Structure 1
């Protein structure tokens, strides 16, 4: 038999679902405008709302009237001001990407990082510009970041190339990359003491091997002598890999989050 208790419980559940759905939608909207100029505009709107609340609380009638009018016409202003962001959100909703925006944004960030590293490596390899780039994974690289020069710059292939141009202040040492940011340059990495490393390999390769032995980072090396591109991970060295293979390996590591060394067991592996 139906009772008022069941009706009240149903109302509570409906309210909870309603709040959760609205909260999630608001969160996704915030993620869409994050990193755009709309963030500053949103802060301005928040200030107006706070001023309206305070003026109402303290009885400041004139200020309350002004802010009340601003809020009344605010919806139209929001549509006009946030038109690019609203259009982008509707486009993502139409493609079914709105509710998976977090995952998509993370993949886009990783793809940007991969593209920058691959382009820079290819450019420097053709011109035999030595380079050492270490990508931070789960194990933090703060100890090595502190040995270098802080940059905290958005990663681009042009910036990476410029850092390693010979006879510039930052070219000697490693750059450390975290997500899609170049955190620091001219960093000192620990040199590997493994007796199995080929004698023909220089300090860059030994440093790349050394950091891979004590962290889970992925490090890309461009040889100044041969122009060859190498990658180290989990104490293993992969020499003379192609541009396509470099992109594939970095994509496997960054996008898939796979740490199995079986992904890295391929014909180009060479430890000595």
Structure 2
């Protein structure tokens, strides 16, 4: 107890900074591993370390020799097993504000037009119960995913988005990739999530949306062809049954640059008024 008191007494300001940095790094590592296969693998490694130490204490020489040699070559095995998680961690570091460039700056009127076109198309697809999968690229590049589909490099428009996802059309099966203010590609194949906590009721479209959000910082919008329900995925988290107001807010928060934040309140009020007027005309 006295030794602990002396250690605490000798802790200086630099030591506190050092401890804080290490704690922050371990917290970020935990958040990266949370709800992934790596979390279970880490538990297995901890068990092996404990068993190795116990075998040394109880002088179980054969078991201890096997475990020590296993741990010696285990570093290479860890690099192979944790390859997806290591890639995800490096991408996360690369997305930090100090090292990454921001999204292409959109003018206020450009953002307004893009969001309106996207919202009208998504609302229409939802009403008609037409399945859709829209991936909005952020800092992590999705060129490899785009190359798996058909490159369009087209302006975002309600008609084009609806026509892409219409059943029995050449590009309806797959996802579209939106880069900045353009539809980069359509009919793209996305990696499926193998998260065991996802509902068994989810189909391939939703698992693909969650899958790409696990491997990048993309924002993904999904429309169910069975129910017309709107869902979004980001950072591996799935949010289901969103209304248009909530979806609009999340899309704008994803796409808007810093200097449009002050004017966004006016845009939100204007969009709501136009939406209410359209509903009144429809009635």
> Normalising by structure 2, what TM-score?
0.53
- Partner of 2:159, secondary structure, is helix
The residue number in structure 2 matching 1:253 is 254
Distance in 2 between the 1:217 and 1:107 partners? 22
Distance in 2 between the 1:239 and 1:116 partners? 22
Distance in 2 between the 1:157 and 1:248 partners? 18
Distance in 2 between the 1:256 and 1:230 partners? 24
Matched, 1:145 2:146: yes
Distance in 1 between the 2:143 and 2:111 partners? 20
Matches within 5 A, 1:1-272: 105-255=106-256
Q: CA RMSD in A?
A: 1.8
Distance in 2 between the 1:141 and 1:181 partners? 13
Mark the runs of 5 or more structure 1 residues left unpaired by the alignment. 1-101, 258-272
- Partner of 1:201, secondary structure, is coil
Q: Write the deviation string for residues 132-165 of structure 1: whole angstroms up to 9, x where unpaired.
A: 0000111110010000011111110110000000
Structure 1 contact 112–180 (Cα < 8 Å) conserved: no
Number of aligned pairs? 156
Distance in 2 between the 1:167 and 1:176 partners? 20
Mark the runs of 5 or more structure 2 residues left unpaired by the alignment. 1-103, 259-283
Distance in 2 between the 1:220 and 1:107 partners? 22
Structure 1 contact 110–179 (Cα < 8 Å) conserved: no
The residue number in structure 1 matching 2:95 is none
Distance in 2 between the 1:154 and 1:206 partners? 27
Task: Give the ranges of 4+ consecutive aligned residues of structure 1 lying more than 6 Å apart after TM superposition.
Answer: none
